[in-house]
Amino acid sequence: MNILFICSAKKWGGNEKWTSMAMQGLALNHKVFFLGKNPELLLKFGPVTDSYSAPFKWNFDLKTKSIIAKIVKDNKIDLIVSTKKKEYFLAGLVARKFGIKHFLRLGIVRDMKIPYWSKLLYYRLNDGIVVNAQQIKTNLLKYSYFKDHPIEVVYNGVPDANIPQAELCQDGRFIIVSTGMLTQRKGFHLLIEAISNLPSDIKQQVKLHVVGEGREEFKLKKMVKDLNLQDIVFFEGFSHQSTSFLKQAQLFALISENEGISNAVIEAMYAGVPVLTTSAGGVLEFLEDEENAFLTTRNVPELAVRLEYIIRKNRNDLFALGAKGQVIARSMFNMDKMNNQLASFLLKK
């Protein structure tokens, strides 16, 4: 089967990582093609049969639509998987024109705010939706038109060969790692402000590595300077080896407003690092506070109190909690399981 994946991202993030993993899994038995927006990202998605780029200027971009149609026609594409809102419409129109299947990948809880447009985009112009959390499916099923629509929960897999094992460290500073695109939704500003609110003796123990890039980078760096945290908060930029920071970490923190299930959270758990996060998206499907992770809110004073509590805990107890999270992550978020379930859903008659 010939499968076309479309991802119109400008930057690399969790959705892009999922796309890369899904393509590599399906490429074992099928011809996989890729269409993106940013030519600089094309190679990051991994080897495929062929890669293309298009402008993706807006939802009704006729030039991009014609490029998708040409790729489908020239390569006899049987199935399209689109992964971002801008391409759902264009790929859907092309799929309907050529009479081929079109699936959406939705990795975040999303409300259908514009009834007619939402029904067209998420229901009429596709043959099914892949989500990475039960909570996303539950939210979609609030809308009557999704009642009989194919929606499959496929938990993200993790290529564990790339994940280091965290090491118990009793001495030195308390290292916190936070990774992701630098956007307000991810809550890096809240984490930094909470660290600034810690008591002085605790604050000086902390070292935070922020790994990622994004539109909030300048604001966050200015915030760190204004709060005089230059010796505590370090911006590491984008790294394909972001998981390497987990080896010496005592805590991974992600204070998200909305998620499906964060790849970064899963990777930290794979490494055995204790996780501090919010209950956004599908987190409660596999995390339990003080059992295999720590849960918090996006309220800065409450977050600061939670951080202080964790930092003061015995390192052996923290390491034991991280080990419990590791068992859960490795059983639920398996690459073979993801690939098999995804192929079964996309390719069923």
311 has pLDDT over 80: yes
DSSP class per residue in 29-77: TSEEEEEES-GGGGGGG---SEEEE----STT-HHHHHHHHHHHHHHT-
The helices-and-strands tally (H runs, E runs) of the chain is 12, 13
Q: What pLDDT shows up at residue 170? A: 65
Q: Average pLDDT, stretch 260-265?
A: 91
> 2-157+334-347: which CATH number, 3.40.800.20, 3.40.50.2000, 3.40.50.720, 2.60.40.1890?
3.40.50.2000
Q: Which residues contact 296 (CB under 8 A, 6 or more apart)?
A: 255, 276, 277, 278, 302, 303, 306
* pLDDT tens-place string over residues 53-67: 999 999 899 999 999
> 160-332: which CATH number, 3.50.40.10, 3.40.50.2000, 3.40.190.10, 3.40.50.300?
3.40.50.2000
Domain ranges for the chain = 2-157+334-347, 160-332
Structure pTM?
0.88
Distance CA 217, CA 267 (A): 23
Q: Average pLDDT, stretch 276-303?
A: 96
Give residue 101's pLDDT band: very low, low, confident or very high (50, 70, 90): very high
Q: In what order do the strands lie in the sheet with 294-295?
A: 233-237, 206-211, 174-179, 251-254, 275-277, 294-295
Is 160-332 the same fold as 2-157+334-347?
Answer: yes
Helix (H, G, I), strand (E, B) or coil at 72: helix
Give residue 239's pLDDT band: very low, low, confident or very high (50, 70, 90): confident
What is the number of alpha carbons within 13 Å of residue 28 lying toward its C-beta? Answer: 9
β-pair partners for 2: 31
